[in-house]
């Protein structure tokens, strides 16, 4: 007599053993409360940059002018209607990173150890040096001040501008411009996260607070956590009071008072094995507000490309995608006209994106990024063609280690799919998947397998809302 058992697609836990695990592998799928949904593929909305893009930012000035900027090692670009316009200062740049902050209508671009650059939206045509500003590697707007950190001559030095003046940098009690060196272990400044009239300073091996208190002290700086921090300054993203970062030993959420591990015994070991740590500064993070998740992109040793790993903070669950994005950023679109499509696609008639796609509409919130293969700005919207998803279960075994004899499978997913089966009789033996099986006319996948341990891999190329698991028709055999 054959029985029916549903193998649920539970939480992805690659750091756990396969036996009894919910999912051992996820690729191009977003976790839901009790299922997974498809991950939208990247849709190009611009022509190509001259090289790898380090960062991007978007915003709207007081007059309602939309602006999207990106930066490469040698250039800063404005992105409009599918076209990249070089808006670099004369002579360009030679940097290995960019960070953008907004000061009213002014965009300030901080390149590592060059004078910060400014662009006034609605007035400027190219970037220029911020007058009087010191060199830095990171910065933030805190209250009515610009705070810069990580200068080449002193990576532990903080400097801040005069009150409400981005061009006032001479130390003065009258303007409140000043500086403060951070002391103690791991004091090299990596990133500054704004919090209204306060901020969070991430150092190599400490996390500190910076709070405006007024003259004569101006800013008070306190150590919040020791032996926490980051070597990946770009791998920090925040939403509301929540700050997510990749720390020295894994992924964390910081709430302003302490750090909570979110990848421990879930994905930390997986990423440590998969990431090229010689390129850890290329790891980047952004908030995907639409899906309530934070997305990290990192150079993967196993794929040779950039891999994306993401965390649903509302569910506490992880997912992964292979979209090969060299950078990611929070994004809201401006409209692309039909004429602007010529800049993106050489042949508009042959383009692989609908004219009605959300990627071409204004005001649509989504995850933005830049594709490493061609350095084009891309977005991932609900109307995009999804990337092919793969979900692999943990291992199913009979009671007391008895043999399972499987007759058929039924995929529990609202889209066309295939299933492959891997078997083994001992945990120390390698497993190997057989050929994918397609469903018959009643939605079942016929198979005849007999083994102590089974695992299943579902592959879905179409868009789907809920991939829930696999229904297995089986009977229990003996011990051999």
pLDDT in tens, 62-120: 998 999 999 999 999 999 988 999 999 999 999 999 999 999 999 999 999 899 999 99
Spatial neighbors of 261 by CB under 8 A, at least 6 apart, are: 250, 251, 252, 268
Span of 35-49, 131-145, 331-345 with lowest mean pLDDT? 331-345
Residues 109 and 99 sit within 8 Å (Cβ to Cβ):
yes
pLDDT at 339 over 70: no
Q: How far is CA 427 from CA 26, 155, 401, 450, 464, in A?
A: 21, 50, 11, 16, 33
What are the pLDDT digits (tens) for 268-296?
A: 999 999 999 999 999 999 999 989 999 99
Confidence (pLDDT) at 362:
53
1 has pLDDT over 80: no
- If you average pLDDT over residues 136-159, what whole number do you get? 94
pLDDT in tens, 393-442: 999 887 767 787 889 999 999 999 999 999 998 889 999 999 999 989 88
Across residues 123-148, what is the average pLDDT? 97
User: In angstroms, rounded to a whole number, what is the distance separating the alpha carbons of residues 114 and 92?
Assistant: 11
pLDDT of residue 479: 58
Which residues 6+ apart lie within 8 Å of 167 measured at CB?
Answer: 130, 131, 132, 133, 161
| pLDDT surpasses 50 at 251 | yes
- Mean pLDDT across 205-217: 96
CA separation for the pair 220, 218 (Å, rounded):
7
Q: Which residue has better confidence, 460 or 331?
A: 460
- Residue 478 — very low, low, confident or very high, per pLDDT cuts 50/70/90? low
Whether the predicted pLDDT of 345 surpasses 60: no
What per-residue confidence (pLDDT) applies to 363? 57
Residues whose CB is less than 8 angstroms from the CB of residue 479 and which lie 6 or more positions away in sequence, other chains included:
401, 402, 403
Q: Provide the CATH number for the domain formed by 3-38+388-476 in this structure.
A: 2.60.120
Mean pLDDT of the chain: 91
pLDDT of residue 351: 46
What average pLDDT does this structure show over 327-346?
65
Paired with 120 in beta bridges are 106
Note whether 23 and 394 are within 8 A (CB): yes
Degrees to nearest 5, angle at CA 102 with 100 and 104: 165
Residue 473 has a pLDDT of: 87
* E-assigned strand segments in 16-120: 23-27, 29-31, 36-38, 43-48, 53-60, 66-72, 76-80, 83-86, 98-103, 106-111, 117-120
**DSSP H helical ranges for 74-197:** none
Q: Please give the Cα distance from 203 to 289 (Å, whole number).
A: 26
> CA 372 to CA 68: how far, in whole Å?
18
| CB crowding 138-177: b at 16 or more within 10 Å, else e | bbbbbbebbbbbbbeeebbbbbbbbbeebebbeeeeeebb
User: Which residue, among 218, 92, 104, has the nearest Cα to 167 in the 3D structure?
Assistant: 104
pLDDT of res. 355 = 45
Read off the pLDDT of each residue in 297-314 and give the average, rounded to a whole number: 98
Give the strand pairing for 145-151 and 154-160.
antiparallel
Over 50: is that where the pLDDT of 338 sits?
A: no
Domain boundaries defined on the chain: 3-38+388-476, 43-130+234-380
């Amino acid at each position: 007599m054959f029985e029916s058992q549903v193998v649920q697609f539970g939480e992805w836990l690659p750091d756990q053993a396969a036996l009894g695990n919910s999912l051992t592998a996820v690729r191009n799928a977003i976790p839901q409360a009790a299922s997974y949904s498809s991950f939208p593929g990247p849709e190009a909305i611009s022509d190509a940059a001259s090289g790898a893009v380090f960062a991007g930012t978007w915003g709207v000035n007081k007059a309602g002018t939309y602006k999207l900027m990106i930066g490469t090692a040698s250039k800063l670009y404005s992105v409009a209607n599918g076209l990249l316009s070089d808006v670099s200062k004369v002579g360009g740049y030679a940097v290995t990173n960019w960070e953008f902050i907004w000061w009213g209508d002014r965009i300030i671009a901080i390149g590592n150890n060059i004078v910060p650059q400014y662009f006034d939206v609605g007035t400027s045509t190219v970037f220029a040096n911020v007058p009087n500003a010191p060199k830095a590697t990171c910065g933030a707007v805190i209250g009515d001040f610009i705070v810069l950190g990580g200068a080449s001559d002193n990576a532990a030095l903080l400097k801040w501008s005069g009150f409400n003046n981005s061009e006032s940098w001479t130390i003065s009690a009258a303007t409140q411009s000043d500086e403060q060196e951070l002391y103690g272990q791991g004091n090299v400044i990596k990133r500054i996260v704004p919090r209204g009239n306060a901020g969070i300073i991430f150092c190599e091996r400490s996390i500190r607070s910076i709070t405006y208190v007024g003259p004569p002290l101006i800013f008070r700086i306190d150590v919040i956590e020791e032996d926490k921090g980051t070597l990946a300054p770009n791998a920090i993203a925040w939403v509301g009071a929540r700050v997510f970062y990749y720390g020295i030993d894994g992924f964390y959420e910081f709430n302003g008072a302490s750090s909570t591990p979110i990848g421990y015994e879930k994905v930390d070991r997986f990423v440590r094995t998969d990431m090229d740590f010689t390129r850890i500064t290329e790891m980047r993070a952004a908030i995907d507000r639409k899906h309530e998740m934070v997305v990290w992109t990192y150079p993967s040793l196993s794929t040779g490309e950039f891999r994306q790993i993401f965390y649903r903070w509302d569910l506490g669950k992880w997912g992964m995608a292979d979209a090969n994005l060299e950078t990611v950023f929070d994004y809201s679109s401006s409209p692309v006209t039909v004429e602007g499509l010529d800049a993106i696609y050489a042949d508009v008639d042959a383009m692989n994106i609908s004219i009605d796609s959300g990627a071409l509409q204004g005001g649509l919130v989504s995850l933005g990024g830049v594709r490493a293969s061609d350095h084009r700005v891309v977005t991932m919207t609900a109307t995009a063609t999804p990337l092919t998803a793969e979900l692999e279960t943990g291992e199913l075994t009979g009671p007391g280690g008895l043999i399972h004899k499987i007759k058929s499978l039924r995929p529990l997913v609202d889209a066309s799919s295939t299933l492959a089966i891997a078997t083994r009789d001992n945990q120390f033996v390698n497993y190997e998947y057989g050929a994918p099986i397609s469903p018959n006319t009643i939605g079942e996948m016929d198979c005849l397998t007999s083994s102590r341990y089974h695992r299943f891999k579902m592959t879905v190329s179409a868009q789907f809302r809920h991939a829930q698991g696999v229904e297995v028709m089986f009977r229990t055999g003996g011990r051999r």
